[in-house]
Amino acid sequence: MKTALITGATAGIGQATARTLAANGWRVIGTGRRQERIDALGQELGADRFLGLVFDVRDAEARNAALDGLPDDWSDIDLLVNNAGLAAGLDAAQEADLADWHTMVDTNVVALLGLTRRLLPGLIERKGAIVNIGSVAGSYIYPGGAVYAGSKAFVNHFTLALRADLHGTGVRATSIEPGMVETEFTTVRTGSQDKSDEFYAGAHPMTAEDIAETIRWVAELPAHLNVNRLEIMPVTQDFAGFRVARD
């Protein structure tokens, strides 16, 4: 039975991916800061399918201690899903809170790098796989998303660069780049459930389960195939974004 480690398994895409992979015969190590959600997922999926780790991904010491403490029979990780992430705020760069920028870079970029570097030797030993959750925002920018977009451009590009370094190792690396998915993402970004409801209303956004199924598909492809990057949007969303400011 293969073992996946999914960061951000307490909500949204990560939680749906934990359920999907567990239902398809994987063992899942799921992480997040919210103990009660980790416990609930453990109850739901069962101790033979799910092991929860509670830590802030930005805290390198806590992250490494959690991994050091894995029981022997859970420590051989075959698939790393770097999913934990967030957008904070929608202010223009000239008005944004610098602390929000640091939160996004520390979570979406620095923590992802720390975990990836730590797990790479074992992934190489097992010819495993890495799925990084980037975003369409990493390719198509929009107002109020400068640092979120920059952080996801890093994820998208870092994943492609990883492929170059992993050449010949048999390790697969994929950047999954979703557009609008209705999760807790916009509530976290705006601090308001109402604003989130308004953002998704009538838009027929993708669901966390849509992306979970995409991750499962990528992870279960035959070993000789690598999806490099996969961009996916709801039909209602497009990327035509040019604007002209006139006198």
Site of interaction with ligand NDP (CB under 6 A): 8-14, 32-34, 37, 56-58, 83-86, 107, 133, 135, 178, 180-181, 183-185, 188, 208
Asked if residue 135 binds ligand 8X3 (CB under 6 A), the reply is yes
148 in active site? yes
Q: What element of type H or E holds 53?
A: strand 50-54
Between residues 11 and 53, which has the closer beta carbon with respect to ligand 8X3? 11
Among 13, 104, 136, 155, binds ligand 8X3 (CB under 6 A): 136
179 binds ligand 8X3 (CB under 6 A): yes
> How many other β-carbons are positioned within 10 Å of the β-carbon of residue 25?
10
Which residues, in sequence order, are CB contacts of 172 under 8 Å at separation 6+?
A: 128, 129, 130, 223, 225, 226
Is 176 in contact with 156 (CB distance < 8 Å)?
Answer: no
Binding partner at 147 among ligand 8X3, ligand NDP, none, C-beta below 5 to 8 Å by kind: none
Rule CB under 6 A: say whether 162 interacts with ligand 8X3.
Answer: no
For position 17 contacting ligand 8X3 by CB under 6 A, the verdict is: no
Q: Which residue has the tokens 């590009």?
A: 157
Query: Least distance (Å) from ligand NDP to the CB of residue 170?
Result: 26
Bridge-partner residues for 231, per DSSP? 177
> Minimum distance from CB of 47 to ligand NDP (Å)?
20
CA distance 212 to 243: 34
Q: Exactly one of 140, 142, 148, 200 is catalytic; which is it?
A: 148
Residues 61, 241: Cα–Cα separation, whole Å: 41
The stretch among 15-23, 67-75, 130-138, 190-198 that binds ligand 8X3 (CB under 6 A) is: 130-138
Q: How far apart are CA 32 and CA 17, in angstroms?
A: 14
Instruction: Please identify, using beta-carbon distances, which residue of 86 and 153 lies nearer to ligand NDP.
Output: 86
With binding defined as CB under 6 A, does residue 104 bind ligand 8X3?
no
DSSP bridge pairs for 218: none
Residues in the chain: 247
**CA distances (Å), origin 36, targets 66, 67, 177:** 17, 20, 29
With CB cut-offs between 5 and 8 Å by kind, which of ligand 8X3, ligand NDP, none does residue 80 bind? none
Residues at the contact surface with ligand 8X3, assessed by CB under 6 A: 135-137, 179-180
Active site residues: 148
